[in-house]
Structures are given as C-alpha cells and as structure tokens.
Amino acid sequence: MKYAKSLWLALFGLALWVAPVSAATREYTLTVAKEPVNITGKAVEKITVNGGIPAPILRFKEGDEAVIHVKNTLKEDTSIHWHGLLLPGFMDGVPGTNGFNGIPAGETFTYRFPLRQTGTYWYHAHSGGQEQDGLYGSIIVDPKGADPIKSDRDYIVLLSDFTMEHSDQIMANLKKSSEYYANKQRTVGDFFRDVKAEGFSKAWANARNWGQMRMAQTDLADVTGYTFLVNGKTPDQNWTGVFKPGEKVRLRFINASAMSFFDVRIPGLKMNVVQSDGQNVEPVAVDEFRFAPAETYDVVVTPTEDKAYTIAAEPIDRNGFALATLAPREGIKGDVPAQRERALLTMADMGMDHDMGDMVMTPKDMISGWAKAGTPPGDKMLDYADLRYAGIQKDTREPSRNIDVRLGGNMERYIWTLNGKKFSDADPIRLKFGERVRMTFTNETMMAHPMHLHGMFVQLENGQPMEKLPNKHTVIVPPGKSYSVLITADEAGEWAFHCHLLYHMMSGMMNKVVVAKLDAADVPTPEESAPIKPQTGGMHHGNH
C-alpha cells in the first residue's frame, strides 16, 4: 500500500508540470471509426482515423504543448500510444497502466503533454489488434531553432503491412497452428539437394531434429500474405517524393507494420543515416538497413541524376515489396530490383532452450540465417555497432545492477514469454527512481524480437564509448543471441515493456517496468521533469 501510494504521488508530481506560458498549443482532433476501405481493389472494414489509413500526420515544434482529442466511435474501447515520446505516464496511452483504462466506446479523451524532444516518431493503438487494423500514424517534432540535419526536401516514408483479415482472426489462426501462414516450406526436392551436398546421414539427422523442434528453417515470419504499403499506398499506387537533381532529401522511415522486418535500399543512392528512433546520430553512409516494427531511421540522400529512383523495402521472408519512388516529377517509376533469395535459419539461430541433438555442425551452419540479408559484396548494411549518439550522453554512470530478461516461447501453443511467464502471470520489474541498470536480453527462440520500453530511452551497449552510446526505444534481439542496454530510471510511472511484434505481445510477451520514488518527499520538482537543454551545436536529446 505504501509503495502504491508513493508511486501515485510521484506520478501526480509529474502531472503538475505544465508547459511554459510562452509555449504554443498545437491541437488536433482524431476520430476513430470502423468503416469500409479499399486499398487493394476490394473493400474491407477496417479502423480509420479521420476517415483514412494511415492516420493523419501530427507535426509539432519542440516545446509545444500537444492537445489531442481522440473521439472513439467504435463499439469497443480504444487507446493511442505516442511511441517514443517522453511524457507523463497517464498520457502514455496503455490501458491498465498509470490509472489509464482506455477510451470507452462513444467517448472522447483528451491527451495533453509537452513536447520535450525532437525527431521522427509515430503513434498507434494499444488495444488488442487495432494497430494492425489501421490505427497508426506519424509524429514529427521539429527543433525550436535551426535543425542540425540539413535538407532541401523532407518526406515521411511510413511502411506498414496491410491484410484483408481482421486482427482477431489472425490471432485465432496462429493459436490453431503457428504454421498457419507458413509458405514456401522446404520440400522433398530440397532434402535430396541437401543429401547431395552434405551426405545422407547429416541431411537426415538435421531434418529429423528440425522436425522434433517443431520449427522450420523457413520460419522467418509468423504472418505472410501481406500487402506492403508506403504512406498508405500499394506498390502500384506508387507514392512519389519529388526532388531537383542535387538537392538533399531527408527521408523519415517509420516501420509501422505489425509483424514485418524490412531490408531497405534505394538502388543507385547512398543513404546517410542521421537519426535512429528519433535521436540524432553521427552520420553513417550505408547502402541498406534492416529495421523492425516500431523502429525509425532518418536518412539523407542526394540524387544527382534526372531520373527516378526506387525506394525498395523487402520483408525478410521475401514475400513482396513495399515500393515508392524518388523522382524529378510525378508519374515516373524507377526499376524494381529483383526479389532476393530468402535465407534459411541455421543452427546459429537456435535459442538456448533448443536441444541440437545429433545435428552435424558445418561452418555454414554457424552463420546466422537471420543475418543473411543478401547484401551485395562491397555494399554496406547498417549495423547497430555503427550508431554513435550525436551529442554527449547525460548519464555515463556504470550500472548498479543487471536485470536479465529471457525471451521465450512455445510455438505449438503460440505463447510468448519474458522470463518464462506470460504478462498475466508475471510480476513487474521494479526500478528505483534515478538508478542506472543494465538490462540483458537473451533470446532463447529462433525468431528475432524487437523489444520496446515505454517512457524512457535505453542506450545500446554497442561497443561505442559510454558518452556516445546511441539512444533507442526499440531494440532488435536476434534469434539465439544476447544484447544488453543501459537504462536511467528517470521517468516515474508504470511503463509497458514488450516485444513489438503485435501477435507476440498479444500472446504474452509483455511486462511492466515500474519506476517509483520510495519516499513521497522525493516527488520530482518541475525543474527535474522539465525538458533538458540542447547540446552544443543544436543537438538535442530526450532527457537521456
């Protein structure tokens, strides 16, 4: 009881902070409805916001006060989470946390919070599968002063995976069989090719053991058959960003899909990555990058020729493309690259809870199938290790303790867990306000999991110096691997913590991180919870 009381006192203390009198108020009204939409040539009932999919772009300036009225015309509760924004817990939009219980059918809820950061973010439902069904959109927060990222054009590239099915039906199908959406499974012909290449004994042993694990080497994605959209448009509808040759074009990539990892490239153009998850990084020149649901990357490109360039985002199961165009004028398209070969999972992708039995190991088996993007020799694929924070990190303390988080699952029952427990059975992770901890993810499954912590950025332990560790709100943990992040617990509240593959979260891969003052006298002052000042040179980071 004492703990709960002190938590709510802390939350109340944060809620007392309001934007300075001089701050502008930026107001939006979002009407959530269910109605027929026609994206692929056939109408289907989906969730819309202000009549469309995706939801409207919300654009703010650093220091603004956001006032967002959400009118729920559905016959069920809804909610909106402002992904990556630092805000009071009650405004985070997750039902069952911080005293927020969702927006009941027929009612209107007003979100109100200050914009304490800059960058590219997004918003989406946090109620059931409503995100998959259409409730997602973009958020841009521009700096108060000059933007350190210079460009002549500025475009949002919002990627999503659209399906004619309702999210409830997809969830039911996965519960019936985790292989419900499996396609392009290996065949008898593939087995005999393995026999020819590796010998019968090894091929037979490996096939038997994969079967015993009830996993297929082709299981890179749980759900297939999506139509991939760019800003709500199909490849045939060809979203186009116009440029003049020689201009610098900023592309704000947002992965708003429910289940799809994408490999993104623009053949013929180098991309300079300048921002990750809304946080400025030192520029990194790459030819392509992979990103997970909920991640964002801002890149700057400089097309010099008077021709069309194709923006190609390819899902890792190689089941189509999200396509768009950069062109000197509307109505033209660039060449579409050939679909790359889909990789197969290998023994290197096996989580720690898998018994490899009598599998025979070869050098090829020790190369992760997940990591095989098909990047051409000589081209550069972005790696987390390349990311360096563009400012100087505020907190460079060593962590006082380590929190282990094991990522697990049962494919037969389609249950996903953290430390062996579903959300409904788990105790929250408790942090003391102000402490610095290391969180180590160990992926015991054969699927990658993008782990997202609400309310705070984490710093990737990616080999960079402590003061240069990049901020992230969503972190990919590859199959069979471990990854660690640092957290400064400086935002009081109950913060959702989950895999951002929608159906993994819905199936239990979620918990809460509770950050609380242990003494009511420690309720933060307005100065403590106010925005931090920009770094030298105009760089700004979100309180971390």
pLDDT value, residue 353: 47
Instruction: Indicate if the pLDDT at residue 540 is higher than 60.
Output: no
Between CA 233 and CA 82 the distance in angstroms is 23
Specify the range with the lowest mean pLDDT, choosing from 10-14, 20-24, 104-108, 158-162.
10-14
Number of domains in the chain: 2
pLDDT at 379: 97
What is the pLDDT confidence band of residue 207, given thresholds at 50, 70 and 90?
very low
Q: Is residue 491 part of a domain?
A: yes
The pLDDT-based confidence of 220 (bands split at 50, 70, 90) is confident
* Closest alpha carbon to 504 in 263, 184, 221: 221
Q: How confident is the model at residue 390 (pLDDT cuts 50, 70, 90)?
A: very high
pLDDT band at 373 (very low <50, low <70, confident <90, very high): confident
Whether 190 is covered by a domain: the verdict is no
Q: What is the pLDDT of residues 160-205, one digit of tens each?
A: 999 999 999 999 999 998 788 886 544 444 434 544 555 665 544 5
pLDDT confidence of 388, banded at 50, 70, 90? very high
CATH of the domain at 509: 2.60.40.420
pLDDT at 341: 87
Matching residue, tokens 């009081």:
492
Q: What residues make up the domain containing 27?
A: 2-145
The pLDDT assigned to 396 comes to 98
523/109: higher pLDDT? 109
pLDDT higher for 525 or 129?
129
Q: Which of 101, 117, 145 is the last residue of a domain?
A: 145
Answer whether residue 412 shows pLDDT above 60. yes
| pLDDT score of 369 | 65
Least confident of 84-88, 115-119, 129-133, 362-366: 362-366
501 vs 316: CA distance, rounded Å? 14
Residue with structure tokens 């039902």? 95
In a domain, 108, yes or no: yes
Residue where a domain stops, chosen among 145, 170, 189: 145
- Final residue of a domain: which of 145, 165, 180? 145
Task: Give which of 241, 227, 288 is closest to 263, Cα–Cα.
Answer: 288
Mean pLDDT along residues 293-300: 99
Residue 214 lies in a domain: no
In a domain, 501, yes or no: yes
Task: Give the pLDDT confidence score for residue 2 in this predicted structure.
Answer: 44
| Cα–Cα distance for residue pair 292/498, rounded to 1 Å | 13
**Separation of alpha carbons 292 and 263, rounded Å:** 9
> Distance between CA atoms of 284 and 272, rounded to whole angstroms?
5
Question: Is the per-residue pLDDT at 62 higher than 70?
Answer: yes
Q: Name the strand (E) or helix (H) holding 504.
A: helix 502-506
User: Is 227 among the domain residues?
Assistant: no
* Cα(85)–Cα(79) distance, integer angstroms: 15
Query: Rounded to whole angstroms, how far apart are CA atoms 243 and 254?
Result: 20
pTM here is: 0.85
